[in-house]
Structure 1
């Protein structure tokens, strides 16, 4: 029999209040140690089943908000859970380091001119490394523990760059890389070409100008356009062949006003009869439809916009920005009598949507660029996409829909400095000469070509001075991590990767490009599972954005509530669903963790150092809680396997809080003081299993409790998930336990309703069916001691209720 004094003294060895900051920082230091990496994190390739996670390499902005904290939490939770299921886990973390935002920071904030290329690149790398340090600090504070030691990578580093350039040369050798002159998506604000995947349509205010085009044989045709500034680039006028208004005009010649240029009126069924006047000018280039018409009818092109988005080649608008030119052209047309009217409209404008800090309208300029051929492989991509399992399944549609909608090959040239050099030289005939693989990495701008002249035509060679699209860098993450070029043995064990983890916003970029490039290079899919998480919304319910002022940083209140509570709150959402982030939810999870802390502290004097061997006989209450425990463990492991992490949160409330902490622990306290072996065994097993199950979600508090209560090994992460196959379900015990839970609830409610303290002794009259009465009778001794009941009177009744009466000694 343990004395109250002994128990109190032991409990005082355990802090009463759970202090997240102190505990979390302590374990984060342990997790970063070499010993921890060696024993718990290191990928060994030792024959165990392998699990490879392709984690997003975030762009190095230096800031990490709750949306990024979400995927970090998911990745870490999966990594830890797989380790505890016996997998040899390869959990990398990369950094997408080369991009326009960094160039702009160095150029405008640090005032380093791009013309000083060497200094500019040096400062870009310094800025990038500083941003990585800031982001990594937040990741570590969240309990994130990838393999920093062997599988952290930066896309500008030598080995990664070799993989990028080698993959491009291999694709060139397959006939997939070509140099073509033609229209490209161009962002005047960013001063670079962009890919189709980086643009989208935004609704903006604009104008619709109704302009009279004189006909050569007399009369006029009225067209409506949103781009009057492109009048000088008009190559034809198009009408719908089914439009009766214009049937007699098809084939006739119209005169472009102001510029007196003759153009033909053609019929094409792509013209919308209901838009404007039903007659449109085809300009090169105002929008993607103009490009289609240009190619279809072999029309000439006239470029009126320069790289900075200013007009050129008109004689009257040159040097003006596009919006200024639009207004000036309206004025000129009005002065000359060609303008009939101007309407204000809202319309969809193709814009640089992939970058939220840009969102500027896109122009189409004619450039000599490098392309990777994509369009012929659309059917193959659809076919192979079915080899990948999606979670949620509906996300497959977005990938397949994007593949089907592709209209352009992939333009991979970018007119920037801080990027991966394209490993090619070219001649004036457009022939490409690749670098030799043994010379990689190369920068053609300061390296000699592998041959003196073009082998095909003998012309002089020039270096490609453009750099690669950033998606060229990040689309080979799987190939780099699995050692496609560098480690054939590792590649044989790790490819395809087990899981691609990413958000909905980069399905058409990172997911598509990785899938496409890997398929072309290996003839296989890059991963077998694709987990697409939704977006974490701001407190206002909209997507987090600095411009909206609704961004929440994980560090805002992490010292108050703890990283574990933040993680658990983020995982409350079903995978793929968007969810607003609220600190109230985090506060609730902190209370749940405090409940676990309290239960562990209470159990500490009774179970620490005690045998884990199962006794020959168990109390009915023990059998009841073990039956519920078996159900809890199985549900949670299933949830980990299906990535339904919110289920673990739910089960912790419904099982641990409501059954273990609120009911079972109270019912067995008197048995614990008596050192009852069955109660000690059951409580120790239940708590240990709960801590093991919860660890991937809430790693810090579980490490601390494990080390205090069990601590057989240096870290909980080298333990395995619990097995519960040995637990035999006693249905009578389950029925009994559920009835006892019901009885306890009635007594407590009655005390509250009668404003009686829970510790005041009462007599109870219980009304209920015989099943309920029999259950209570079987454990009457436990119930009396737990609920401070002096006597229980049983009344067989169809109605279930209790009546209580305060005993004189308790008044």
Structure 2
């Protein structure tokens, strides 16, 4: 049979060209026009030539049939121009023989998320040619090479002569043939050939501690340049120093437009961060960005910025309210055994969040910290704990000194640690609140100089957590009862009867004073509750007004 091979039309053509040692026939000039190898179509653009060829085939009755088809065509990613392949002299770094070495080096990296390593592996396994590092661009790092005009020998500068611009500078020595007539290389280096040295370049700015800085700990970047920046940086580090340039890799996704499309200036769908910051503030933008999971793209939604704005307002108002309740309180160490059950409840919940947030940040999963801390702040601290402890702080004379100290300590720690947990995400509002109250008591210049919250196992009590959860479940049921009856939440409850098992009864008795305070109940009894059923534990609750 007969097969047509065009040198070069596509990847298959190139493979056949090399495999069968075919003659090279270049019919396209570097500016995309037909040359003398296409008689009758010289100087035409490729599209013009295609159109004329079809016309000529028709006119000579050589075109038997014509059917429109759809097939993939490589195009420039910005202007959409079809890409044509030409054979031209270029500079390459040979590395196809090192693919196994690079795959092994990739295995030694800690990937976050792990599945992004697949892109790295697939890229290496699919490599079919060496690394072309020369570009026909005016701007770029010059390739330090001269060519002897007489014999064509490649001349290289001594290392001490670098950097040089071969277009304007001359070599420090003659060619071995004796000629001094040289031509400087006009090509520039591929951007990845130099940006792949960023760890070494950055570390070299601090020569006294170079060995401490390189290899580095972390490479943070988006997934689209795993095969370029990440891979080539690893290649350079392995080829120069036989080590990986970092130990950890953190891969983020893209910020997409509201319709889920990639943002592009040429498409006109870019959301300018400066405009967002001027309208909502940097904290809101950071709050939105922190919602993205590693390796996943996320559409830009303005409603998420509004959520961030609500978070700022709530942080400010809740913190100011807590500060008002705390007054001139100065934190002291408290024996966990002396803490009231409901205070131990909030501290148990808090420490679970601290543990989760710390583990998440150590794996660079910032979105998990943001989500869980936000949930704790709104649902546990604001919606419930602040409501439960109001009476103890408003009416301190009714309670013992130890009970008041217990609630102040717990409230102080809860608010401060929430601010610390949110500080990497919303640095400005957390700093403002810290400066307002906590700076003087913590003795630190800034919240960003203060220590990260530490998980304290002594402040984790499962019984206290269960008791607090039961209290919240009952108080939520009473709150719903009053709302359904169109009663004010401050309406006193003559008697509150709870139907539960013996284990639940024992736990509720630990928090019965706080239950009375938050539900405004004069009396709490255990029996047959029939008015409502609580949502979480399905307790029977009878409310007598």
Structure 2 unaligned regions, length at least 5? 531-537
8 Å contact from structure 1 (residues 608, 709) kept in 2: no
1:569-620 CA-partner distances (Å, limit 9, x unpaired)? 2222221122222121222233233222222101112435422112442211
Distance 1:599 1:440 in 2: 61
Q: What corresponds to 1:619 in structure 2? A: 340
When normalised by structure 2's length, the TM-score is 0.90
Distance 2:227 2:132 in 1: 15
When normalised by structure 1's length, the TM-score is 0.61
1:609-646 CA-partner distances (Å, limit 9, x unpaired)? 42211244221111111111111111111111112222
8 Å contact from structure 1 (residues 627, 727) kept in 2: no
Structure 2 matches for 1:32-47, cutoff 5 A? none
1:232-264 CA-partner distances (Å, limit 9, x unpaired)? xxxxxxxxxxxxxx3xxxxxxxxxxxxxxxxxx
2:42 corresponds to 1:282: no
Q: What corresponds to 2:452 in structure 1? A: 721
| Superposed displacement of residue 359, structure 1 | 3.4
2:215 corresponds to 1:500: no
| Superposed displacement of residue 677, structure 1 | 1.4
8 Å contact from structure 2 (residues 199, 245) kept in 1: yes
| Superposed displacement of residue 374, structure 1 | 2.2
8 Å contact from structure 2 (residues 467, 511) kept in 1: no
2:526 corresponds to 1:802: no
8 Å contact from structure 1 (residues 692, 702) kept in 2: yes
With CA pairs under 8 Å and 6+ residues apart, which has the higher RCO, 1 or 2?
A: 1
Distance 1:431 1:379 in 2: 34
Q: What corresponds to 1:255 in structure 2? A: none
8 Å contact from structure 2 (residues 529, 540) kept in 1: no
Distance 1:499 1:368 in 2: 37
8 Å contact from structure 2 (residues 496, 543) kept in 1: yes
Q: What corresponds to 2:534 in structure 1? A: none
| Superposed displacement of residue 754, structure 1 | 1.4
| Superposed displacement of residue 343, structure 1 | 2.2
Secondary structure of 2:73's counterpart equals: strand
Taking a change above 3 Å as real, the CA distance of residues 792 and 725 of structure 1, as seen in their structure-2 partners, is closer
1:771-801 CA-partner distances (Å, limit 9, x unpaired)? 4444444433333333333433432569623
2:73 corresponds to 1:340: no
Distance 2:190 2:152 in 1: 20
Secondary structure of 2:174's counterpart equals: coil
8 Å contact from structure 2 (residues 148, 182) kept in 1: yes
Distance 1:801 1:587 in 2: 39
Q: Bigger CA drift: 291-300 or 692-701?
A: 291-300
Q: What corresponds to 1:479 in structure 2? A: 200
Q: What corresponds to 2:156 in structure 1? A: 434
Structure 1 unaligned regions, length at least 5? 1-245, 247-278, 807-811
Q: What corresponds to 2:493 in structure 1? A: 762
1:636-683 CA-partner distances (Å, limit 9, x unpaired)? 111111122222122223322211112112222222242721111111
Q: What corresponds to 1:679 in structure 2? A: 407
Taking a change above 3 Å as real, the CA distance of residues 459 and 299 of structure 1, as seen in their structure-2 partners, is farther
Secondary structure of 1:342's counterpart equals: coil
Distance 2:420 2:134 in 1: 50
1:552-575 CA-partner distances (Å, limit 9, x unpaired)? 233444344432222122222221
Q: What corresponds to 1:230 in structure 2? A: none
Q: What corresponds to 1:445 in structure 2? A: 167
Q: What corresponds to 2:479 in structure 1? A: 748
Taking a change above 3 Å as real, the CA distance of residues 791 and 320 of structure 1, as seen in their structure-2 partners, is same
8 Å contact from structure 2 (residues 528, 540) kept in 1: no
Structure 2 matches for 1:262-661, cutoff 5 A? 279-313=2-36, 314-352=38-76, 356-427=77-148, 431-453=153-175, 455=176, 460-483=181-204, 488-607=207-326, 609-616=328-335, 617-661=338-382
Secondary structure of 1:704's counterpart equals: helix
Structure 2 matches for 1:110-121, cutoff 5 A? none
| Superposed displacement of residue 422, structure 1 | 0.8
Q: Which structure dedicates a bigger proportion of its chain to strand?
A: 1
Distance 1:524 1:399 in 2: 17
Taking a change above 3 Å as real, the CA distance of residues 466 and 331 of structure 1, as seen in their structure-2 partners, is same
Distance 2:57 2:418 in 1: 77
Distance 1:388 1:489 in 2: 26
Q: How many residues align?
A: 523
| Superposed displacement of residue 333, structure 1 | 2.6
Taking a change above 3 Å as real, the CA distance of residues 734 and 508 of structure 1, as seen in their structure-2 partners, is same
| Superposed displacement of residue 388, structure 1 | 1.1
2:401 corresponds to 1:662: no
Q: What corresponds to 1:21 in structure 2? A: none
8 Å contact from structure 1 (residues 746, 801) kept in 2: no
Distance 2:448 2:87 in 1: 57
Distance 1:477 1:657 in 2: 42
Taking a change above 3 Å as real, the CA distance of residues 372 and 634 of structure 1, as seen in their structure-2 partners, is same
1:709-756 CA-partner distances (Å, limit 9, x unpaired)? 211222212112122336343333222111111111111111111121
8 Å contact from structure 1 (residues 691, 702) kept in 2: yes
8 Å contact from structure 1 (residues 388, 528) kept in 2: yes
Distance 1:345 1:431 in 2: 49
Distance 2:12 2:172 in 1: 41
| Superposed displacement of residue 505, structure 1 | 1.0
Q: What corresponds to 1:236 in structure 2? A: none
Distance 1:335 1:558 in 2: 63
Q: Bigger CA drift: 673-682 or 633-642?
A: 673-682
8 Å contact from structure 2 (residues 174, 180) kept in 1: no
Secondary structure of 1:348's counterpart equals: coil
Secondary structure of 2:318's counterpart equals: helix
Q: What corresponds to 2:533 in structure 1? A: none
Distance 1:494 1:374 in 2: 27
